[in-house]
Chain A
Amino acid sequence: MMLTILLLLGLPLLSTVYTARSRSLEKNHFATLATGAGHLGATLYLLLTRQNPFPTRAWFGLDPLGSFFLLILSHTFFAVALYSPGFLQRMKKPEYHPSRWLYYPALNSYLLASTLVIVTQHFGLLWVVIELTTFSLVPLIYFYRSKESLEAVWKYLFLVSLGLVFLLIGILALGLATKGAGAHASLVVTDLVRDAAKLDPLWVKTGFVLALVGISAKIGLAPMHPADIDATSNAPGPVAALMAGSLRSTAMLVLLRFYEVACHTSVRVFSQRLLMIAGAFSILVAAVYIWRSRDYKRLLAYSSVEHLGIITLATGIGGVAMLGALLHTLFNSFGKIALFFMAGRINRDLQTRQIDSVHGLMQRLPWSGFVFGLAFFYIIGTPPFGLFFSELLMLRGMVHARDWLVLGLFLVLLMIIFIGMSRALLRMLQSPQPVGLPTGKPLERFHVAHAVSFYALVVSVPIAILRPDFLFGPLRSILTEFGFSL
């Protein structure tokens, strides 16, 4: 019991301190890798045994929802940890030295902060800890120390903190709602859910609205998505993957905590409608910018906005769609790992982020090109990859809920985004090597990044088809917690 807590929280803290002090990169790399492995091992153990290592009714606790998102966090972190040494070796320029030194401590502190966010049950503490995740990302985003990355960091820091102010107001509103309950006003999720009936619906509704607006900046839901787009597209490969993969899912978890409380009160229908509106608007905004985009890293950032929009929309619909949404979160993080790793490498090797100036990708970078192509087919949802099955689940939810208007709008937007994405990425993959350009660049060798990305894409197939019980058990219990019957 205590060992898992140590592995989950102690290890990241220890490695943050250790990497901060030690100068040599190799030691830092092994420390981070060890932390990642330990963390992943603990998470899988907790998932398999499905137990909550923390004392009950304390400020910390691990419910099924938490354990599922913990898996997403630790899996993404482990992938980034595997790829980081390869990435850092390529960063030889002198101005990168300070950020190379800062890279590992920031990475470990991010793991610590995100784990804390997932395990906290108390809303107040949740706010404090989620602020920490933002701080731990600042040195990572500002890795390249260029003008754009500075602007990206500034915008990200400022807007997300501003968003979190509204989250705190939301939490205070929730606190006010418990005043009416008479029971001792604790802001712990389990207590709130237990005496939800006695909560004052007016303040729960205000709290939910404020929380949604507050956390959207971090999740990347429109209209608060611009800061997130700039940060993700200007961060280096592994950091962008971390942000798109785990940071957004962790922020989604915070929203789901609020949604869980709202679900047990009379505010349930309103919160579902609001989530659907926010989700649909995000998909629309993503479609606007994916249709005509010139820079493929921004395209991938908008694709993250789109997928989070889809998840929010499906969560709003509930039932089977909610199951699809949770699966979609997991598979989306797999896809984003592969996409951003490869985009980072392509950006480094071809020195360009414009889609039109990427030529002869398959000839000059055969491995990156192949995995990037595979990731493209993954992200647009072709079977047998995972996103296909999660999209089907969501469609089943929509058809079951008989929302024909939502279904129609969803399919039209999905089609527009499919056209935009394939127009851009197919041009990158297929455009031939112009005769003039020298093909002298030595063909790249197989690298651990390709292995990790390929593994991330392929592992979704057995999960989606075999539906392993250690994963679908917690998912089903989440649904029952939210009051949806399968």
Chain B
Amino acid sequence: MIGFFILGLILHLAAMAIPAVVHDDRLLNRAVNLLNAFALACSLVFSLNSLLAYQPWEMRLALPMVGIIPLACDGITLFFLFTFQLLSLAGSVYAIGYLEQYIERGIRIRWHLVSFTLLILSMQLVVVVQHALAFLVAWELMAVSAYFCIVLEKQRPEVRRGGFWYFVATHASALFLYVFFILLHEKSGSWEFADYARQTGWDAGTLALLLVTGFVGFAIKAGFMPFHAWLPNAHPAAPAHVSGLLSAINIKAGIYGIVRMFMFFPIDRQAFGWALLAVALVSAIGGVWYALAQHEMKRLLAYHSVENIGIIGLGLAVAWLGRCISSPSLVALGLAGALLHTLNHAVFKALLFFGAGNVYLYAHTSEIEKLGGLAKVLPVTGAAFLIGAVSICGLPPLNGFISEFLIYKSFFQGGSLMGGHAPLALLVSAVSLAFVGGLAVACFTKLYGVVFLGENRSKTPPHGHEANSSIPVLVGLATLCGWIGFAPGAALRLVAPAVSEMSGLPAIRLGRELIAPMDELTPVFALLLVMTLLTLVVKIWAQKKAGVRLRETWGCGYQNVTARMQYSASSFAEELVKLGQPLLGLKLHWKPITHVLPEPRTFSSHGFDQVEQGLWIRLDRAIGRALRMLRWIQSGNIRHYVVYIFAALIIYLIIAFAFVW
């Protein structure tokens, strides 16, 4: 089986070599992406098979002179490997159609394709490698290749800005990870993850420092709230197939890191669990609330990634708490919810971003105020986007509901198992998850309603076509959402190896406790589907008998209704955004009507990210001001430099003789 995976990696390397040979962009685009897709299909065979049959694979790659780099595919790695490969396959097939527009506009895509393949390759390496140094090398490789994927359209300044945000954020996370792994190396004396898991006897100070640096490092990459500022800038800047992959799987590398971190520290420390819960809650609520105020499609979806990362964080927090009170069933429940939501989010977020890509292809803008009524023109994208929207809000028949259902169950089970203030805290987090669900419903009804339904709002109706290669991808992802929704038991079997490793539950008990109850959901949803189809049949029969006519919309008698009278995105979400005013930051740009015969007025509202502005931009300016205080050193006057020499001499002599060292 491992042969397939190695074949896949070799084919990826071959795909990176093609741009050197082929020079016609159109042929190049097809060749590289199809080869990538085939390579991913091969390695998918490996990961899926070894995941279901659960054969963990171990290998210690002994490179001459370099040393031994252990590669391993245990349950956790296999699950993330499967998710990455599945979505990269969808991404590369979608890329074929999407890159056509760049070729027409004459933008060179040679380097982009090389970095896209390198991104896919390095993401798989990050998950497989079990050696700290090699992990850091793969981590930075992933960061650099993702950066070059983002800055494909170098002409637009916001693309360059987005790329820069991404580049700085990943380097910041790398710095934290350097300290994290070096501290681990200091304690255990080796670079291999296996040794860290076996390490015992942590003293309190080092453990706290390890947990903080490790979590912050991975949280910046995952996009938890205080560190999320780069995400809504970087993902919209990328072309749709890249931003789809970034949101779906690239930030999951951070989640993989946190899960791997759990394996290192068997010591239970509840404080960290509660802190993780708090951060996850803030990310979930903040993410969706900021999404509500956005009017640009991809930026809105990026904020939703922050929200879903928060939800995954909730599952992980409960799993950590479960381990603290050493109840393996709670750990299994929480972790299963978190990992399944990782897979679900990867699937429907990629679906939504590819849908947004198609909208951009058609209307050449992703500003939702200028769109409308696209469902009639892009039927497949409309239907697929609807399925994506329903599943991201966690509504029943689809996959979003299953993972949120598991996380709710873990909250309630955790509440009943843990005494003291735990029930109150867990109930509050369950309620906030519901609150987040409500906000998500509001946000996605706004997005879908304004973009796909009603009439087109822009003056000149756009022209364009649906990327033909995207249709199978969208349909495939949508059916996957439905399949996980209707057959949750099967999806949980993908998660089972990782969960049983982490929680220590044997596979049989895991099957009975976790997978069996979820299997019983299938008949429930089947009944719902049957009832719906039945009602539909009755409705069609009744309407055929009674007759159907098409007329103008009933506007309470008002005759010439124009497209601009429809509810716009900002008016739809205005009240809710106003509620979060202090945190949310909403700028209204309008002049009040003063005298009797007012000239035409415009109104526009613009939601800005208070955390990003308040925290990071202000920090940037503060650093600039602080550093400017020292700007007088290079004054250009030679006599000042002579004074510096004498001054330095005196200061050093004072240090030498005044302080006793």
Contacts and interface: CB of A to CB of B under 8 A. Distances in A.
Whether both chains belong to one complex is answered with yes
Interface of A: 154-155, 158-159, 162-163, 166, 205-206, 209-210, 212-213, 216-217, 222-224, 226-227, 229, 269-270, 273-274, 277, 284-285, 287-289, 291-292, 377, 380, 382-384, 388, 391-392, 395-396, 399-400, 407, 411, 414-416, 418-419, 422-423, 426-427, 430-432, 465-467
A392 B133 contact: yes
Interface of B: 65-66, 133, 136-137, 140-141, 143-144, 151, 154-155, 160, 163-164, 167-168, 171-172, 175, 178-179, 182-183, 185-186, 623-624, 627-628, 630-631, 633-634, 638, 641-642, 644-645, 647-649, 652-653, 655-657, 661
A209 B164 contact: no
- A-side interface mostly: helix
Contacts of B642: 159, 162
A392 B656 contact: no
Contacts of A377: 144
B634 A224 contact: no
A195 B25 CA distance: 72
Nearest to A427: B160
A423 B160 CA distance: 10
Given A155-B638, A285-B633, A466-B66, A382 B155 contact: no
B616 to A, nearest CB: 11
B154 A292 contact: no
Given A382-B140, A430-B154, A411 B179 contact: yes
21 contacts: A154-B638, A155-B638, A155-B641, A159-B645, A162-B642, A166-B649, A205-B657, A209-B653, A212-B652, A226-B641, A273-B661, A274-B652, A287-B627, A288-B630, A388-B137, A392-B133, A392-B136, A396-B186, A416-B623, A422-B167, A422-B168
A216 B144 contact: no
Contacts of B65: 465-467
B136 A395 contact: no
A388 to B, nearest CB: 7
Given A287-B627, A430-B151, A430-B163, A392 B178 contact: yes
Contacts of B186: 396, 399-400
B651 to A, nearest CB: 9
Contacts of B627: 287-288, 291-292, 416
Nearest to A285: B633
A166 B641 CA distance: 15
Contacts of B648: 213, 216, 223-224
A315 B185 CA distance: 21
B177 to A, nearest CB: 11
A224 B185 contact: no
A467 B160 CA distance: 38
Given A155-B638, A392-B182, A226 B633 contact: yes
Nearest to A216: B648
B167 A274 contact: no
A229 B427 CA distance: 61
A389 B181 CA distance: 13
A224 B633 contact: no
Contacts of B151: 430
Contacts of B172: 415
Contacts of B143: 382
B154 A383 contact: no
A223 B182 contact: no
Given A213-B645, A382-B144, A419-B168, 5 more contacts: A155-B638, A292-B627, A383-B141, A388-B136, A418-B171
Contact of B644 (A223, A382, A383, A467): A223
A288 B627 CA distance: 5
Contacts of B179: 395, 399, 407, 411
Nearest to B138: A383
Contacts of B141: 383-384
